[in-house]
Each structure stands twice: as structure tokens, then as C-alpha cells.
A and B are shown apart, each in its own frame.
Chain A
Amino acid sequence: MGPPGDGGETVGTTAARAPRSRSRRFRRALRSGGPRLVRFVLLPVVLIALWEASFRLGLLNPVFLPSPSRILAAAQQLVLTGELFRNIADSLQRIAIANLVAICTAVPLGFFMGLYRPFEEMMDGLVNLIRPIPPLAWIPLAILWFGLGEKSVVFITLISAFFAILLNTIAGVRSVDKSLIRAALSLGATRRVLITKVVLPATLPSLFTGFRIALGVSWMSIVAAELIASSSGLGFMINYYRELLRSDLILVGMLSIGIIGFAMDRGLQWLERRLLPWRVALVL
């Protein structure tokens, strides 16, 4: 067994042994799953190829499921008219506002609930009553309160992000290692020092987890909200082309969400590694 991730490099291969060693190298690469990038794109590429092939063979009805090449052409059209980026920008802006507001409210609230037991007990009933209500169930009320448009969509997105961040903040504050608190107290920490210098940094990894989950659920609720309460954004775009029976354009919208969501999550992971290099200690 070669070490994992080993690209199969063999030192000192003679020319005569080259073919054999190449096949061995290939087998070894296959066993370890090949280089990361190959492993990463292999399945999507194969699926797209099969998809395109079955379309060419006439096995798929283009109205229900258009071919990849057709989707690509549709994407090109949406990019050229600027429609795709306009809608992406609208959705992103709403997500940014909603998450910013959610962070500014849920993080302090979560801190207080995590730190002060009586306050947490006071809030607990209310939070747990509202939390199980799906953000989408708020849509009718949101439209009544804010009307169709921007505010309603942001409100729905905010609700979903808020609880993700709140719960992770509370859990983070609660799970701060008791030994760290005791060590700090025995080094002369006052309550204020304890909170700012120990509890806060110790909670940061949980906060990041909360942000990542919040971004994920933001996309879920914003699309639903835009389907109903908006005249722009990716959710609106998807619904608009449903009425026109343009499954290719619908899929462009869906795939855009997938790609952006994926990129944002990776971006946050990267940021976390940069900002909290010591986090490795907790993963181990």
C-alpha cells in the first residue's frame, strides 16, 4: 500500500521497466483515488458525458431535461444579456444584508444566553417556540408586513441565518473548556478578562461553524422567498423560466446557486484557516 495521496512516483525506473511501472503507477493511483483534483471532477465529468450521450441518442426529452450543451448555450445567453449576473447580484446583496444583521443580533444574544443562565432560561421558551417554524412559513406574514419585494426576502433569509448563528454561539460559549476558565482564574483573570480573553476566542471556531451553516440555509430560504415575494434574484429567475417552460434556463439558475454556495463555503473555510490557525488543535 502506497501512502495516501502518493502520486505514484517511482525513483530510478529504467527504460525497459517503464511500461510495467506505468501500469503499476496507474493502478496505484486508482487505488489511492488519483490526485485530488482528478478525484474531485471525475464523477461530475462522467455524469455530464453520459447525460450528453443519452440526449444525442434521443433518450431524453429536452423540455424535461435539456442536454449539457444546451444548458451551456443558455448560460451564455443569460451572461451576455447580463440577466444572470444581475440576478446573482440581487440575491447576493440580500444574503449579505440578512447575514450581517443576523450576525450583529444573534452573536451578542447568543453570548448573553450562553453566559448568563437566568437570561438563557428566560429566553429559552421563546427561542425554542419560534425555532421549529420553517422560515418559509413566515412568507405570508412577511408579505403582509413588508409587502412584496426586498424587505420580505431579506426578512425570510434573516430568520434562517439568525437561528443557525444563535444556536452555534450558545453551544460555543457553553462548550468552552472548564479547565481553561479555571486556569485563567488562577492566573488572576477578572470576569471581564475571562469573557474577552478566554471565552470569546474559545468561541470563535463555533462562530465560524455558525456562519457557514447560516450561509447554507440562507440560500435555501432566499430562493423560496424570491419565488414568491420578489421580481428579481435567482429564485425569481428560476420561477420565471418555469412559466416559459425553459428548463435549460432553470438549470442555469440552479447550477449557479450550487457553484456560488460551494465557493462561499470554501471561502469561509479558507478564511477560518487563515484567521484561526490554532483551530487544528480542536480537529485533532
Chain B
Amino acid sequence: MGIKVNIANVSKTYGDEDDGDFVLALDSVSMTVEDGEFVSLLGPSGCGKSTLLYIVAGFEQPTRGRVYVSGRPVAGPGADRGIVFQDYALFPWMTVLDNVAFGLKLRGMTARQCQEIAREHVALVDLTGFENRFPHQLSGGMRQRCALARSVANNPEVLLMDEPLAAIDALTRNTLQEEILKVCDARAGRARKSVIYVTHSIEEAVFLSDRIVVMTPRPGRILEVIPVPFQRPRTDATRLAPEFQQLAGHIWGTIKSYVRSREGALS
């Protein structure tokens, strides 16, 4: 197991230091993601977790520090880092199959290879039969499964997910969490995916992750890194286990005591 993503001392500021609108979004954040590891960035809004994800994706530049993926410094967006957004970001003029095949076509594959891989991934997220539908004809959950298939089909080094289930209703969300684990799992010819997953749901982070990075806002910092020991595959039984509730409770306690001490310091 090597290091897949290395976030080295990354800071991000917005505005001028002497200005009133100066924001220290990320303050010297360092962390790594192992090959095949599922890491969640957990924290309240404003803690910089999405900013950090976008820096790894290459959409934003760090003010200080560097991000390395498989040892190479990140210079901009690229196909080695797939992304799944909260708002799906499917191309509305393309069918499900064309959306999933978009990245494959850009890699110079033959039309037949594209079709084959795209269909395999459409099936993987249970969208068989919907290949020729347009995104607006699908439910929110189906759209997100399509977006997931599009990213995974492209076989990126690391998969970045920005609160992908925040807009999905609670009943569908649990199913989709299992779906995400299934899709990222090792399959024939493919190793398990490395994932950075941004969320503000403790339950979700505990269910999905190998490791949870708890972040705090203003400035965005890492408060604690918590390993999640539960075995895979994880199922509904995992959620009901007392250890699951215990860990979730511990994380909630950590965040709450931090917020308390912060408020105490302010008053």
C-alpha cells in the first residue's frame, strides 16, 4: 500500500491580509490518503472541506503548500482525479450512456471499447434499461448513480466526492451509500478506489470510511483523525451495531466539545 494522495501543508486564503474580507479557509492542512483507502472529510459548513477537495481536484490553487497525487504535483484538473458533485453535473443533452462514455471517448478508445465499458458501469449502478434516457427523465438518486458511473468508468487514480448525497432523500440515501461502496470496491481487473469524500453527516462518514478527518472552521484545520475499524462489506447490520453508534457518538462529542470551548473562548 503506497500513498495515493499527499496533501502537504496546504493553506488557502481569500482576500488581502489587511482587508476586512480576509478569510483563512485552510490553515496548514497536511494529510495523506493510502492506496485504496476511503477517507472522509467531516465538518460543519465553512470548515474548508470542500475547498480542500477542490484544491485536490485542481479547480483551485492553494495559497501555500502542495498536493501530490501518485507522487506528481497537482497543477490543474485532470482525468486522474474523478469528481462527483452534489448537483450531479450530468450533461443534460447526453443520454445516460453518452454521459458515462464521455471520459472514455476522450481517452482515444475505440467506439466498441467505450460502449463496452460504459455499459458495464451502467449495469454496475443498476441503471440497465435507462441507457437512452436523458438526465431530466431520471430521479435524483438515479442521476447521482449515473454521475458515479461516469466518474468510475474513467478509472481515475482517486475519486473525489463533494457531498454527493446531500440532495438525496433520506430513504434513498442509505441505499446509495452501499452503492458507493460497491462501485469503489475491487472488481475484476480493477483495484479498490482511493476516495476522498466530503460530508457533514457523521453517520455517513462512519458508514463509508476507513478513516475520518474531522475539520473545524475559521480557520479550517484538522481537529482529529479517526480510524473506522468496521469490516467490509458494510450493510444495514453495520449501522445497527453498538460500536457504530458508539463511534458516531464519540465523533459528535469531539465536535461538540470543540464548539463549546470555542464559544467559551469567545465570550
Chain A partners chain B: yes
Q: Nearest B residue to A284 by beta-carbon distance?
A: B136
Collect the chain B residues with CB atoms within 8 Å of residue A182's CB: 57, 59, 77, 83, 85, 89
Size band of the A side of the interface? 20 to 34
Which residues of B have CB within 8 Å of A58? none
The verdict on A10 contacting chain B, using a C-beta distance below 8 Å, is: no
A198 to B81, CA, bound (A): 19
* Interface: A26 (CB within 8 A): no
Chain B contacts for A193, CB-based, 8 A = 106
- Asked whether A278 lies within 8 Å of B107 as measured between CB atoms, the reply is no
Q: Which residues of B contact A281 (CB under 8 A)?
A: 92, 134-136
> Does residue A276 face the partner (Cβ distance < 8 Å to B)?
yes
Which stretch from A184-192, A231-239, A255-263 is at the chain B interface?
A184-192
CA distance A278 to B78 in the complex (A): 28
Residue A188 contacts which of B91, B107, B160 (CB distance < 8 angstroms)? B107
Are B102 and A187 within 8 A (Cβ)? yes
Contact (Cβ within 8 A) A179 B87: yes
Q: Could you say which of A186, A197, A198, A276 contacts B78, with CB atoms under 8 Å apart?
A: A186
Q: Is B209 an interface residue (CB 8 A)?
A: no
Report how far A184 CA is from B106 CA in the complex, Å: 10
Minimal beta-carbon separation of A149 from chain B (angstroms)? 43
Q: Mark A176-206, 1 if CB is under 8 A from B, else 0.
A: 0101101111111110010001100110100
Selected contact of A280 from candidates B136, B147, B156, CB within 8 Å: B136
Do A188 and B57 contact each other (CB < 8 Å), given the known contacts A182-B77, A183-B89?
no
- Looking across the interface, which residue of chain A has its beta carbon closest to that of B160? A186
- For residue B202, CB closer than 8 A to chain A, the reply is no
Closest residue of chain B to A277 (Cβ to Cβ) is B134
Residues of the A chain whose Cβ atoms lie less than 8 Å from the Cβ of B150:
183, 187
Distance from B198 Cβ to chain A, minimum over Cβ atoms (Å): 14
**For residue A200, which residue of chain B has the nearest CB?**
B93
The answer to whether the Cβ of A282 comes within 8 Å of any Cβ in the partner chain is yes
The answer to whether A186 and B93 touch across the interface, beta carbons within 8 angstroms, is no
> Contact at A201–B93, with CB atoms within 8 Å?
yes
B144 beta carbon closer than 8 Å to chain A: no
Complex interface residues of chain B between 67 and 120 (CB less than 8 A to chain A):
76-79, 81-83, 85, 87, 89-93, 102-103, 106-107
Q: Determine the residue in chain A with the shortest Cβ distance to B76.
A: A185
7 tightest A-B CB contacts, nearest first: A188-B79, A281-B136, A187-B103, A179-B89, A185-B77, A183-B89, A281-B92
The residues of B with any CB-CB pair to A shorter than 8 Å are: 57-59, 76-79, 81-83, 85, 87, 89-93, 102-103, 106-107, 134-136, 147, 150-151, 154, 156, 160
A-B contact pairs, 14 of them (CB 8 A): A179-B85, A179-B89, A182-B59, A182-B77, A182-B89, A183-B147, A185-B58, A186-B160, A187-B150, A188-B78, A276-B93, A278-B136, A280-B136, A282-B92
